[in-house]
Amino acid sequence: MLVQELSHSLVAIYRSLKVSGITLFFLGGVSEIEEEAAEAGKEYWIAVVGPLASLVLAAILGLLMLEALGNTSPIGALVKYLALINLILGLFNLIPAFPLDGGRVLKSLVWKANRSQDKAIAIASFTGSILGFMFIGAGILIASSTGNFIWGMWLMFIG
């Protein structure tokens, strides 16, 4: 998470936006960028770099894991775990559901295409709401049809 938020912050600084800090939470984090990007391109790069950083880190850790394949040491297990977590984090954050990074990427692309930030926010927010309801529905379906209440509750929580 730190690498992802640090990536957002560094690109924001590079794009002349002021960053006052990074706050990490149990299930995520936020780069405290003091102003909104004034251009779709800035928004795009600030948003997309976070998941890309997680995916690159997952690839690097995956390569390290290949070197330790068959290694049952705690270090090998830790590298495998960190690679998997970064892969999941990077892919999850690319889901086009605002306010996830993927939703911000969607917002920037719509903003660039129709030149209206307000329409882009509305479309990205609507898409995020639909995907949120889909996660909730999938959680209810999984919990009720398979009896896997923990997985179902987790999906509902994400939604």
Q: Domain ranges in the chain?
A: 1-94, 95-159
Contacts of 11 by beta carbon, 8 Å cutoff, 6+ apart: 45, 46, 49
pTM, full prediction: 0.84
> Is 5 part of the annotated catalytic residue set?
yes
Catalytic annotation, pick one of 5, 39, 43, 67: 5
Q: Evaluate if residue 73 carries a pLDDT over 90.
A: no
Mind listing the pLDDT tens digit for each residue in 98-122?
Answer: 888 999 999 999 999 999 999 999 9
CA angle 14, 17, 21 (to 5 degrees): 95
